[in-house]
Amino acid sequence: MFDTQHAYGTSCNSLRFAYCEYYHHNHYHHNHHRLVFVPQTMTWFEAKEYCTTSYWNLATMHSTSAGKENFLVWIGLYREGETWSWSAGETEYEDWDNDEPGTGDCITIASDTKKMSTQDCSSRYPFTCFKDNLILVKENKTWEEALEHCRSIWTHPHNSDIHYRLVSVQPGEDHAYMRFRVREATTEKVWVGLRFLVDQWRWVNGVDMLFSDLPECPIEQQRCGALSTNSNSSTLEPMDCLETNNFLCYI
């Protein structure tokens, strides 16, 4: 809908255009979010299936942007009974349009104003997919076990050097996104690819160490790095490498 500045609830099965988000992380740069326009309209459930198959999932509000044109776009928020949930992850974003939420159980936003409205889940709209190349492994392993697990997940059939690794983290948007992802972990800490080696903190993939608040000489039992799932913790933490935690892998 291009003639309005608002989002409106409609059936999750309506036909609309779509944006998908591509999330890229490489060895030497920060993560990058990209919106990919999908010129199709689908129901909310079709959009969710499309995103989970081709990308990662329907977008949460922290990642949604649809350009200058204003029209309605599915996001990953839906209602079951009296409970609102996101199809993946979570966010505290809430900006309802006037007289909303209504009776629909699936949510669109206006691409320009970002106002949220309920829709009938059978309506057809474009949608925003979110893709990244991170895997949160919800298994409890030591740091070394996590390192080996990531390396064993997948190898490119034509290049044995391409495989998953324990993730590196850089300050800013990269760090904020990692903290968002680890909210789904089943442990209070999540291993990342940080290790104290040869008298300094290093990322196992060789990227620059840009965090300055880690101890310069940690005790022997605190020489592996982790992210906290506690939203009040804003930095990396040194931990005993033999503790067992969930962990983040990336390719």
The model's pLDDT over 47-87, given as tens digits with 9 standing for 90+, comes to 888 877 766 667 765 544 444 557 888 888 899 988 888 87
Q: What is the DSSP letter of 185?
A: -
The Cα 172–Cα 168 span in angstroms is: 13
SS (H, E, C) 49-80: HHHHHHCCEECCHHHCCCCCCCCEEEEEEEEE
What confidence score (pLDDT) does residue 198 get?
Answer: 87
| Band (136; pLDDT cuts 50, 70, 90) | confident
Homologous superfamily (CATH) for 134-250: Mannose-Binding Protein A, subunit A (3.10.100.10)
Pairing, β 245-250 against β 236-239: unpaired
* Per-domain residue ranges of the chain: 10-131, 134-250
8 A C-beta contact, residue 165 and residue 151? yes
The Cα 207–Cα 223 span in angstroms is: 18
Give residue 92's identity as a one-letter amino acid code.
E
Flag whether pLDDT at 143 surpasses 70.
yes
The candidate with the shortest Cα–Cα distance to 131, out of 27, 20, 235, is: 20
Q: How many CB atoms lie within 10 A of CB 199?
A: 8
The model's pLDDT over 181-236, given as tens digits with 9 standing for 90+, comes to 888 899 999 999 999 998 899 998 888 888 888 888 888 889 999 998 886 666 78
The candidate with the shortest Cα–Cα distance to 38, out of 131, 133, 128, is: 128
Q: What is the DSSP letter of 94?
A: -
The Cα 25–Cα 202 span in angstroms is: 18
Dihedral over alpha carbons 187, 190, 196, 197 (to 10 degrees):
110
Q: Do domains 10-131 and 134-250 have the same CATH topology?
A: yes
Burial class from Cβ neighbours inside 10 Å (0-12, 13-18, 19+) for residue 243 reads middle
8 A C-beta contact, residue 132 and residue 52? no
* Structure tokens belonging to residue 35: 């919106």
What confidence score (pLDDT) does residue 63 get?
Answer: 47
Identify the CATH class of 10-131. Answer: alpha beta
Flag whether pLDDT at 38 surpasses 90.
no
